[in-house]
Amino acid sequence: MTRLDLRSRLTAATVHSLGSIAVALLALALVFLVWYPYPYARVAGGIDLFRVLVTVDVALGPLATFAIFDRSKGWPVLRKDLAVILLLQSGALLYGLHVLFEARPVALALEHNRFRVVSAAEVIREELAAAPEGLRRLPLGGPRLLRTQVPEDAAERMATINAALAGADLAMRPRYWREWDASAREQLRAEARPLEALLLTQPEAAAILDDAIADSGVPRDRLRYLPLIARRAEWVVLVDMQSGDPAGFAALVGD
């Protein structure tokens, strides 16, 4: 390999890297500002999935360009080689974005005495038509806050328990979704637990809790919590007892 050839390869790989970084930044904005707003990038696995996506887009594509770029091939052949690399890279990018899209959180659901983050892939799509009219479409811009309704019929209630044991929790079944309303707020206030309970088993977590309270903007004496269950983490949701709504999140394990 001549020195000039090495320089041209490095130049081509650098240009490819800059383009890949620009695309990755656009993808980052889409993923973390739209599909996985805080804290869902952490609790729903968005960060891990995006890391794999960026590795393919920013690293492998330019490396492949560096490996194949050789002006002695002639531009017709070289253009075809570069087109193949860009095609493969674009296909990998689109596939990665599709995986992230299907794994995006679509519901923050109150299940009796806890919250659950539900991804699009976990939703029982066949039941969407049975959901309340305003909840039949999966959101694109972060999860929708809702509550779940436990069936009153004993046989149906047992069926939901069996389904949950098989992996289809109540929050994943749209037929039991309900709008976030006064009933949801009343239930949340009734189930919320004192913050002091978090520190009984995690005394070292006082600083994390203090930061979460500060971020919420709600006075400490108005806050309680409920556990949050997600695919990649167990956190807690801070509850504003005055409004009856979630007020923030803390990276602590709630009992």
Place of tokens 């409004």: 243
Tokens 């079944």 sit at which residue?
Answer: 173
Q: What's the pLDDT score for residue 215? A: 95
Cα 214 to Cα 53, 236, 253, distances in angstroms: 34, 15, 19
pLDDT > 90 in the chain, percent:
51
Residue, of 6 and 35, whose pLDDT is higher: 35
Residue 3, phi-psi category: left (phi > 0), alpha (psi -120 to 50), beta (remainder): alpha
Q: How confident is the model at residue 1 (pLDDT cuts 50, 70, 90)?
A: very low
pLDDT in tens, 157-194: 899 889 888 888 999 999 999 999 999 999 999 999 99
* Distance separating alpha carbons of residues 173 and 39, to the nearest angstrom: 23
pLDDT digits (tens, 9 = 90+) for 230-241: 988 889 999 999
Q: Give, as one character, the DSSP assignment of residue 124.
A: -
18 burial type by CB count under 10 A (0-12 exposed, 13-18 middle, 19+ buried): exposed
Position 132, amino acid:
P
Helices (H) and strands (E) in the chain, counts: 9, 7
pLDDT band for 4, please (50, 70, 90 cuts).
low
- Give dist(CA 20, CA 24) in Å, integer: 6
Report angle CA 113, 157, 190 to the nearest 5 degrees. Answer: 20
In the chain, where the domains are located: 3-103, 104-191, 192-255
The band of 134, judged by pLDDT with boundaries at 50, 70 and 90, is very high
SS3 assignment, position 236: strand
22-41 residue pLDDT tens: 988 999 999 999 999 999 98
Global confidence as pTM = 0.85
Mean pLDDT of the residues in the chain = 89
**For the chain, what percentages of helix, strand and coil (3-state, to nearest 5) are there?**
60, 15, 25
